[in-house]
Amino acid sequence: MAREEVAELEARETQLIEDLKVSLIPRDPNDDRNVIVEIRAGAGGEEAALFAAQLFRMYGRYAEQRRWRVEMMSGSGTGLGGFKEVIALIEGQGAYSRLKFEGGVHRVQRVPVTEASGRIHTSTVTVAVLPEADDVEVKIDEAKELRIDVFRSSGPGGQSVNTTDSAVRVTHVPTGLVVSCQDEKSQHKNKAKALKILRARLLEQAQAVQHEEVAENRRSMVGTGERSERIRTYNFPQGRVTDHRINLTLHSLDRVMDGDIEPLIEALITHYQAAALQAAT
């Protein structure tokens, strides 16, 4: 009995040592925050916009599985159902800790619906993941630092479109950052959403200044959106997803696009925890 117990305890000891090492890694102070996810079509025109919409749906389904709340903050759609740009707030326990490695250039390879000859095209979408900022962290003097312009919403027809000046453009004069929102019918709601996005960008900018190494990572997060830059490739003809940072390939593209990205996220967290542990020793 003692020998059996020793074997069990040795196995448990190994696991406890590993857990202890992980717990000693400096914790990212943003891990418990909600996130603002910005998805933009890169190279590839309408096909890139269509894939941007699919990525937005993918993250929405993942959030749904974890019982997180998703609120679209701003969206610029296309005629075929794609997005030139879509910004969403995802609220939930540990949202930033799970999604922070999604920032970068996502590349898609497939035959576009607009392609008559059946040729495979390569397009890109950029994703940025920003921790949501609290009002007390980012102080903005609205009277002195903000220029707020209102204009009429544009987009698909409807009774409320192009009839009132409900769309809002907020310019942060000291930094030149500009955020526009026009999804809501209320000017007040559009302004509130624009300010939330602006605060997140200002917080990310401030933290980047404080941590130059992090700043370099953030600046290179989305690159230029060119096809040669990518963190992940979604290959539809072969039904596979490859994350190039950790050389992981999954042959489950349909499930991934339906929000089953947990295997990718877990692998990325494990990889970066190991890298942080190695750097700390």
User: Can you give the pLDDT at residue 226?
Assistant: 53
Contact criterion met (CB below 8 Å) for 55 and 164: no
Residues 219-254 have pLDDT tens digits of: 455 455 555 568 999 999 999 999 999 999 999 999
Extents of the domains making up the chain: 35-135+222-280, 142-209
The residue ranking higher by pLDDT, 215 or 189, is 189
Residues 40-94 have pLDDT tens digits of: 999 888 999 999 999 999 999 999 999 999 999 888 888 888 999 999 999 999 9
Q: Which residues of 38-62 are buried (b: 16+ CB within 10 A; e: fewer)?
A: bbbbbbbbbbbbbbbbbbbebbbeb
**10 Å Cβ neighbour count for 93?**
11
Cα angle, residue 113 at apex, residues 38 and 229 outer, rounded to 5°: 45
Q: Is the pLDDT of residue 25 over 80?
A: no
User: Can you give the pLDDT at residue 165?
Assistant: 76
Residues 159-214 have pLDDT tens digits of: 444 456 788 999 999 888 999 888 888 888 889 899 889 989 888 888 777 666 54
Q: Is the pLDDT of residue 109 over 70?
A: yes
User: Can you give the pLDDT at residue 160?
Assistant: 45
Mean pLDDT score, 118-139: 85
Mean pLDDT score, 116-140: 84
Q: How many helices (H) and strands (E) does the chain have?
A: 8, 11
User: Can you give the pLDDT at residue 97?
Assistant: 92
User: Can you give the pLDDT at residue 218?
Assistant: 46
Q: Is the pLDDT of residue 146 over 70?
A: yes
The residues that bridge with 170 in the sheet, in sequence order, are: 148, 179
User: Can you give the pLDDT at residue 280?
Assistant: 65
**Structure-token pair, residue 85:** 């740009």
- CATH among 3.30.70.1660, 3.30.1360.120, 3.40.50.300, 2.60.40.10 for 35-135+222-280: 3.30.70.1660
**Structure-token pair, residue 144:** 């002195």
Q: 142-209 belongs to which CATH class?
A: alpha beta
The residue ranking higher by pLDDT, 255 or 26, is 255
HSE-up (13 A, CA, CB side) for residue 100: 19
User: Can you give the pLDDT at residue 134?
Assistant: 76
Would the pTM of this model clear 0.95, i.e. be above it? no
User: Can you give the pLDDT at residue 157?
Assistant: 42
Cα angle, residue 74 at apex, residues 174 and 131 outer, rounded to 5°: 60
The residue ranking higher by pLDDT, 123 or 13, is 123
Contact criterion met (CB below 8 Å) for 37 and 102: yes
